[in-house]
Each structure stands twice: as structure tokens, then as C-alpha cells.
């Protein structure tokens, strides 16, 4: 694969993990979730636990199979028919996720920055940028991701720390409201769990990490940072605005940033600085998801040039962003269920399968 001869270190793996999952949720937390949103911060913690298990399975696979391509190992052990069905499903899921993220990016820019600009003029530069990044390969994407990740975390940590320790924060709004009925809890947790779905891209990335790196530590640190940001943001929003007021805000964190912005000086529009970083975050996750889609397609169709694959798929992003109405994806809707299956349930089953096959082959040899 282009630009992947050089293998990556633990920090690159951390940055890739972090950037693959953190997007629109921060701008609208905790009100994207369906059901009782005052419990969202607790559900964000609980729904991250299965993804930590997935990360552990990925690191276990890495220790057993070294830097071997996961999907080639899967094809060898599962047979071509099963492999083809699984790959086709993952490809369609990752392409649609990229389409959804690019639409979210367009929505963010139109809502807060370029309200009168036509959608096609907004989305076109982003699609061109994402396509170029994927064309030039994984090394280009990882350099881009790693360059911004520290500044992004520091910016978010600054705003959230101010919120937690400000005089306006009131702990009385924080205790969660729980419904004891399991179906209701699962339904309201669905969109929260789907926030971590980008972790599945690590199945393609892990083979390019240097062998002596501590993969589980790097991946779990990336996911932990995302989870802590989500949870802290939910706490800050509820603690400062309260449920009744915050439910009517378009983006609670943007309102929070505006409230701490100086009235004069260089940082008079700190909210624009925040939005600028957030646009970069969307571009990063779009690059990662699109790269993963192309990576899977190259597994099935190795003779087709990457540029042709990119040219065939990018029009879908443009069409979806322009003509499909934006909506929040909540609860049991098909998209969230599919994200959980494609990014959590299926990868866990496949990893358990190849790990079990490795142990079986060792027992046969011994």
C-alpha cells in the first residue's frame, strides 16, 4: 500500500484511534442520544466498555500474528465465500459512514460558519481534500492526524476544565435519571455506543505499527481520551445550563465557548477558533473512514487502481450531502444498529475466530 513501508509508532496509533471516533458528538452532546438524556454521561461510560474489549482483541491478534494483514488471515481461515460476504458488508458500511460524516461536516459549517453558502460549494473542497489524502496514502493521513491531535485535546481540555471549575457549575443537575427497564436503557444507549464506531478502522491500521510498540496501551489511551471528553462535556453542559435550558440550545458547547470569550482582543471570537479545529476533526475522521473503505476495496479488487476506486466513490459523498436531508440518528434506527454490528459485534466475532484458529494450529503442531 502506498506510503506504508515506514511503520508507525505508539503515538501514531494513539492519534489514529482518537481521531477515528471523535466528531459531531462533541458539538451536540448530550442531546444526540435518544431517551433520558440526563443519564447520557453515564451511558457514555458504560457503552465504551465493549470497545475496550475490542481493542484488547486487536492487540491480542497483533501479538499472535505479528504484522500480518488481518483480512488476508481471515480469508485464509474462513474461505473465500464467507470472506467475500463479510468484506462486502464492511465496505458498504464504511462507505455509508463516510457519507454520513461528510454530511455532518457540511451541516456544521452551514449552521455556524457559512449560512448562506450553497451546500455544493461547501462540500466540494472537503471532498477534494479527503480524496487527495486517501490517494497519497496512509502515511499522509497519519502525519495530518498526529500533527493536530495534541492541540485538539488541549483546546477541549481547556474549555471543559473551565466549565467544571467555574462558579456557574452546579452538581445538583448531575445525578442521572435511570429507567430500570432494560429495553428502554438499551434503546437510549444505542446512539451513545455508535459514537465509538470508528474503532473498527484499527483492523486495517494495526498491521503497519512497529512490532515492539505497546499497542493496547496506545489504543486504549486514545479511546479513553475520547470517552473522557464525551463524559466531561455532558457533565459540564448539564452542570452549567441545566436540563431545561440546555435542551433548547443548538450546540451547548458552542454556547459555552462563547460565554468564556473575551469581549475584545485577539481571541474575541474564540468560538471560531474552536469551530476551525472541529472542522479539522471532521476532515480527519473522513480521511480515516474513506481510507478504510478504499483499503477494503483493494483487498477484494487488487487489480483496480486506487485512483479509479476513489473516483467511483467520491460522487456518493457529494450526492448524499446535497440531496439527503440532515437528521440526527437516534435510538434503534437502522444506521446505529448497523454501526454497532459492523464496528463491534462482527469484528469481535472475527477476531475471536482467527485467535482461536491460531491456538488450534499451535495445538496441532505440538
Q: Which residues pair with 209 in a beta bridge?
A: 8
What is the domain extent for residue 76? Answer: 10-365
What CATH number is given to the structural domain containing 167? 1.20.1740.10
In a domain, 48, yes or no: yes
In a domain, 23, yes or no: yes
What are φ and ψ of residue 209, in 5° steps?
-85, 140
In a domain, 130, yes or no: yes
In a domain, 2, yes or no: no
Quick: pLDDT tens for 225-263.
988 888 888 788 777 777 666 666 666 666 766 666 555
Output the pLDDT for position 201: 94
The three grid cell numbers given for residue 243, joined into one nine-digit string: 436540563
In a domain, 14, yes or no: yes
* Number of structural domains the chain divides into: 1
Q: Is the peptide bond before 30 cis (omega within 30 degrees of 0)?
A: yes
In a domain, 67, yes or no: yes
CB proximity list for 289: less than 8 A, separation 6 or greater = 20, 94, 97, 98, 101, 198, 201
In a domain, 72, yes or no: yes
The three grid cell numbers given for residue 127, joined into one nine-digit string: 471532498
Matching residue, cell 495534541:
150
Q: What dihedral angle (degrees, nearest 10) is formed by the CA atoms of 109, 158, 222, 184? A: -70
Give 345's DSSP letter. I
CA–CA dist 151, 55 (Å, integer): 25
The three grid cell numbers given for residue 364, joined into one nine-digit string: 496441532
Residues in the chain, pLDDT under 70: 1-6, 22-40, 173, 175-192, 243-254, 256-272, 326-333, 360-366
Residue 186, CA atoms < 13 Å, CB-side half-sphere: 7
Amino acid at each position: 500500500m502506498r506510503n506504508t513501508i515506514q511503520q508507525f509508532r505508539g503515538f501514531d496509533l494513539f492519534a489514529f484511534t482518537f481521531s477515528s471516533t471523535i466528531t459531531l458528538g462533541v458539538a451536540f452532546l448530550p442531546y444526540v442520544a435518544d431517551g433520558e438524556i440526563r443519564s447520557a454521561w453515564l451511558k457514555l461510560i458504560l457503552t465504551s466498555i465493549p470497545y475496550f474489549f475490542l481493542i484488547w482483541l486487536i492487540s491480542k491478534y497483533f501479538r499472535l500474528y505479528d504484522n500480518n494483514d488481518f483480512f488476508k488471515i481471515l480469508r485464509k481461515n474462513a474461505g473465500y465465500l464467507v470472506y467475500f460476504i463479510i468484506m462486502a458488508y464492511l465496505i458498504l458500511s464504511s462507505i455509508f459512514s463516510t457519507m454520513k460524516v461528510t454530511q455532518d461536516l457540511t451541516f456544521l459549517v452551514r449552521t455556524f460558519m457559512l449560512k448562506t453558502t450553497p451546500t455544493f460549494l461547501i462540500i466540494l473542497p472537503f471532498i477534494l481534500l479527503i480524496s487527495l489524502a486517501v490517494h497519497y496514502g496512509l502515511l499522509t493521513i497519519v502525519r495530518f492526524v498526529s500533527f493536530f491531535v495534541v492541540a485538539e485535546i488541549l483546546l477541549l481540555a481547556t474549555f471543559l476544565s473551565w466549565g467544571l471549575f467555574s462558579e456557574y457549575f452546579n452538581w445538583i443537575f448531575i445525578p442521572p435519571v435511570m429507567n430500570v427497564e432494560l429495553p428502554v436503557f438499551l434503546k437510549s444507549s444505542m446512539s451513545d455506543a455508535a459514537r465509538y464506531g470508528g474503532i473498527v478502522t484499527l483492523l486495517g491500521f494495526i498491521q503497519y505499527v512497529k512490532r515492539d510498540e505497546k499497542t493496547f496501551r496506545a489504543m486504549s489511551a486514545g479511546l479513553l481520551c475520547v470517552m473522557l471528553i464525551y463524559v466531561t462535556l455532558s457533565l459540564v453542559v448539564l452542570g452549567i445550563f441545566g436540563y431545561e435550558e440546555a435542551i433548547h440550545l443548538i450546540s451547548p458547547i458552542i454556547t459555552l465557548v462563547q460565554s468564556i470569550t473575551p469581549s475584545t482582543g485577539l481571541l474575541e471570537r474564540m468560538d471560531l477558533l474552536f469551530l476551525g479545529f472541529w472542522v479539522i476533526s471532521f476532515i480527519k475522521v473522513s480521511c480515516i473512514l474513506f481510507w478504510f473503505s478504499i483499503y477494503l476495496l483493494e483487498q477484494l479488487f487488487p487489480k483496480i487502481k486506487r485512483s479509479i476506486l476513489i473516483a467511483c466513490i467520491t460522487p456518493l459523498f457529494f450526492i448524499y450531502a446535497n440531496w439527503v436531508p440532515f437528521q440526527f440518528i437516534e435510538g434503534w434506527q437502522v444506521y446505529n444498529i448497523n454501526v454497532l454490528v459492523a464496528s463491534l459485534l462482527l469484528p469481535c466475532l472475527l477476531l475471536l475466530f482467527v485467535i482461536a484458529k491460531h491456538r488450534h494450529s499451535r495445538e496441532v503442531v505440538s
